[in-house]
């Protein structure tokens, strides 16, 4: 019997959903997919969070992942990997809006579809507001690694991380942090660097280390792009609360909101943290960018942003739509839907491969000849909307800060790399730095690049300013 239109369509969908050797070998052996089970919906209203505006991509829909999509996602993710390690990463919006039961099922589905020998790590990024005993018992039992979003002590955290009434969320987040600690859940801190905390790197870091007992921290620069037409609305924020009109955030425009971190200030923030870390905490506290920079000296690029190419961090929306990257959840970067085409084929598609290779091929001349290119690699393409020194478009907005960080941290990084090559722990750098400090004149310029004298900067043991003094909107 001749195939009907419907049966032909079903057969072709079936074909798209099968995994061939060819599609497996064209796709990366391993990738880090961020799944958004509640889309971009969140229970708070951070002023800089342009992800809130992504709800506009799917108007009039309930943004919740169905059972069918959950199982399709887990099954395809495990089928797609050719490495024994697989990360199942949950993100948002706010994934706790899905309730614990949804994730219990996710864990069961992983066990159902796991290939022999596959080791699965569950990660979960949350604002911490809803964390309680039930959540933390579940995380502990299933070895989840939890990322908690905190921007520093109360004054800087509450500058932008606010609820729907505009009130700071610090106390609620600290309740979540207490619950994580009580149940000994493994967690790390994700801290954005923005206009409110950009002058307080060392004090923010000390707060995490000394007050929260954090062993692992990740800093993310806030850069909210806008055009002349959208900058006014963008400065108001990305939520629809309070009857505000909002725009769908896309990676366009060469202006930035007033909440965004300054380019040079980003580098100074990182160096402020680095100079503290290199004196006291190497091997004890892990700062993601410092770790991956040291790895780069051995030719390993563990963070897409500073790797030569990218495209291994797709984002999955609640309905099965797959996008090239979490930062490009917008129509032009939709790869397809996993109910129609298997994830591994979407990852192997020419569109996704081009997305990743363009990161290298679109570097400006300034980047191509840059002294720290092997460490920086031009940064994330989403931030390449400035002009280079020669006036070439496509320079990273953060370039000045990136150059400052990679150049100034390099001597210590090189010493750590050498120590490691010679069979010594990189943490020996702390003793080396201490002896260099003894020889350094107190009135010599500080190594961090602040322009201050060493004695009044990293030669000094106290944080250098109160938060309230320079916290916009706090």
Q: Which residues are catalytic?
A: 326
Quickly list H helices, 84-153: 99-113, 133-141
Task: Please identify, among the stretches 11-19, 229-237, 377-385, 418-426, the one whose residues bind ligand SF4 according to the rule CB under 6 A.
Answer: 377-385
# of chain residues touching ligand SF4 (CB under 6 A): 23
For ligand SF4, the closer of residues 361 and 422 by Cβ is 361
Q: How far is 439 from 196, CA to CA, in rounded Å?
A: 35
Beta-strand runs (E) in 215-295 = 216-221, 225-226, 255-256, 286-287
Q: Which residues fall within 8 angstroms of residue 123, CB to CB, at 6 or more apart?
A: 87, 88, 89, 90, 144, 145, 146, 147
Asked if 403 touches ligand SF4 (CB under 6 A), the answer is yes
Q: Nearer to ligand SF4 by C-beta: 256 or 399?
A: 399
Give the nearer residue to ligand SF4 in terms of CB position, either 170 or 266. 266
Collapse the DSSP code of 249 into the 3-class scheme (helix H, G, I; strand E, B; otherwise coil) and give the result.
coil
Pick the closer one to ligand SF4 by CB: 176 or 379: 379
Q: Does 217 interact with ligand SF4 (rule: CB under 6 A)?
A: no
C-alpha distances in angstroms, 133 versus 89, 92, 102, 186?
21, 21, 17, 14
* Binding segment toward ligand SF4, per CB under 6 A, in 49-57, 103-111, 289-297, 369-377: 369-377
d(CA 138, CA 147) in angstroms, rounded, equals 15
Per-residue tokens: 312: 């291994």
User: Measured from the CB atom, is 120 or 304 closer to ligand SF4?
Assistant: 304
Contact between 382 and ligand SF4 by CB under 6 A: the answer reads yes
34 binds ligand SF4 (CB under 6 A): no
Q: Which residues lie below 8 Å from residue 425, measured CB to CB, with a gap of 6+?
A: 283, 419
Among 282, 370, 412, 416, binds ligand SF4 (CB under 6 A): 370
Shortest separation between residue 140's beta carbon and ligand SF4, angstroms: 30
Closest approach of ligand SF4 to the CB of residue 285, in Å? 24
Binding residue for ligand SF4 (CB under 6 A) from 367, 412, 416, 446?
367
The sign one gets for the Cα dihedral 383, 398, 48, 258 is: negative
Least separation, in Å, of the C-beta of 339 and ligand SF4? 24
Which one of 55-63, 146-154, 373-381, 418-426 is the stretch in contact with ligand SF4 (CB under 6 A)? 373-381
Cβ closest to ligand SF4, residue 86 vs residue 307: 307
Q: Name which position in 92, 93, 128, 378 contacts ligand SF4 (CB under 6 A).
A: 378
> Which two structure tokens, joined as six digits, stand for 84?
């024994």
Cα separation, 203 vs 458, whole angstroms: 12
Distance (Å, whole) CA 143 – CA 122: 7
Q: How far is the CB of 288 from ligand SF4 (least distance, A)?
A: 13
Strands (DSSP E) found in 101-203: 119-126, 145-149, 186-193
According to CB under 6 A, which one of 91, 352, 396, 471 is a site residue for ligand SF4?
A: 396
The reply on whether position 27 binds ligand SF4 by CB under 6 A is no
Q: Binding to ligand SF4 by residue 376, rule CB under 6 A? A: yes
- Residue 275: enclosing H or E segment and its boundaries? helix 263-280
Residue 379 interacts with ligand SF4 (CB under 6 A)? yes
Interface residue with ligand SF4 among 262, 381, 426, 449 (CB under 6 A) is 381
Per-residue x/- marks for ligand SF4, 290-319, CB under 6 A? --------------xx----xx-x------
**Among 366, 409, 433, 471, which residue sits at the site for ligand SF4 (rule: CB under 6 A)?**
366
Helix axes 429-439, 399-421, angle to 10 degrees: 110
Give the containing element (helix H, strand E) for 323.
strand 321-323
Residues 321-360, interacting with ligand SF4 (CB under 6 A): 325, 327, 359
Q: Which of 49, 278, 372, 412 binds ligand SF4 (CB under 6 A)?
A: 372
Q: Which of residues 37-96 bind ligand SF4 (CB under 6 A)?
A: none
Nearest residue to 159 (alpha-carbon basis) of 46, 69, 9:
46
Indicate left, alpha or beta for 242 from its phi (over 0: left) and psi (-120 to 50: alpha): left
Give yes or no for a contact between 162 and 45, defined as CB atoms under 8 angstroms apart: yes
Q: Collapse the DSSP code of 123 into the 3-class scheme (helix H, G, I; strand E, B; otherwise coil) and give the result.
A: strand
Nearest of 238, 247, 316 to residue 63 by alpha carbon: 316
Stretch that binds ligand SF4, among 287-295, 371-379, 408-416, 427-435 (CB under 6 A): 371-379
Residues that bind ligand SF4 in the complex, under the rule CB under 6 A: 304-305, 310-311, 313, 325, 327, 359, 366-367, 370, 372-373, 376, 378-382, 396, 399, 402-403
């Amino acid at each position: 019997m001749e195939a009907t239109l419907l049966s032909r369509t079903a057969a072709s969908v079936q074909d798209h959903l099968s995994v061939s050797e060819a599609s497996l070998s064209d796709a990366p052996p391993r990738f880090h997919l961020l799944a958004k089970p509640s889309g971009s919906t969140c229970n708070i209203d951070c002023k800089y969070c342009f992800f809130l505006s992504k709800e506009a991509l799917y108007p009039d829909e309930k943004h919740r992942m169905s059972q069918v999509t959950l199982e399709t996602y887990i099954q395809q993710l495990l089928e797609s990997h050719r490495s024994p390690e697989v990360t199942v990463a949950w993100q948002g919006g706010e994934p706790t809006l899905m309730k614990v039961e949804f994730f219990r099922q996710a864990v069961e589905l992983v066990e159902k579809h796991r290939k022999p020998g596959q080791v699965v790590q569950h990660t979960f990024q949350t604002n911490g507001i809803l964390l309680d005993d039930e959540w933390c018992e579940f995380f502990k039992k299933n070895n989840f690694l939890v990322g908690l979003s905190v921007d520093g002590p109360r004054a800087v955290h509450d500058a932008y991380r606010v609820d729907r009434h505009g009130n700071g969320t610090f106390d609620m987040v600290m309740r979540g942090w207490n619950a994580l600690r009580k149940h000994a859940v493994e967690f790390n801190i994700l801290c954005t660097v923005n206009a409110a905390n950009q002058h307080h790197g060392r004090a923010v870091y000390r707060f995490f280390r000394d007050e929260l007992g954090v062993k692992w921290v990740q800093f993310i620069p806030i850069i909210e792009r806008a055009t002349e037409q959208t900058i006014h609305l963008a400065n108001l924020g990305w939520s629809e609360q309070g009857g505000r009109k909002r725009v769908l955030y896309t990676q366009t425009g060469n202006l930035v909101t007033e909440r965004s971190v300054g380019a040079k200030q980003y580098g100074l923030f990182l160096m402020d943290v680095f100079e503290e870390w290199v004196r006291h905490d190497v091997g004890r506290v892990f700062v993601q960018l410092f770790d991956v920079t040291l790895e780069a000296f051995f030719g390993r690029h563990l963070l897409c942003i500073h790797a030569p190419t990218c495209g291994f961090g797709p984002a999955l929306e609640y309905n099965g739509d797959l996008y090239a990257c979490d930062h490009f959840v917008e129509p032009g970067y939709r790869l397809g839907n996993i109910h129609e085409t298997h994830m591994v084929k979407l990852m192997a598609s020419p569109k996704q491969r081009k997305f990743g290779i363009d990161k290298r091929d679109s570097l400006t001349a300034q980047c191509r000849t840059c002294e720290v290119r092997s460490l920086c690699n031009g940064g994330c393409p989403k931030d390449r909307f400035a002009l280079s020194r020669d006036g070439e478009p496509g320079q990273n907005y953060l370039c000045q800060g990136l150059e400052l960080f990679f150049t100034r941290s390099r001597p210590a990084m090189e010493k750590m790399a050498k120590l490691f090559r010679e069979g010594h722990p990189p943490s020996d750098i702390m003793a080396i730095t201490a002896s260099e400090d003894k020889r350094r004149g107190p009135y010599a310029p500080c190594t961090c690049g602040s322009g201050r004298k060493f004695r009044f900067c990293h030669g000094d043991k106290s944080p250098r300013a109160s938060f309230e003094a320079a916290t916009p909107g706090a």
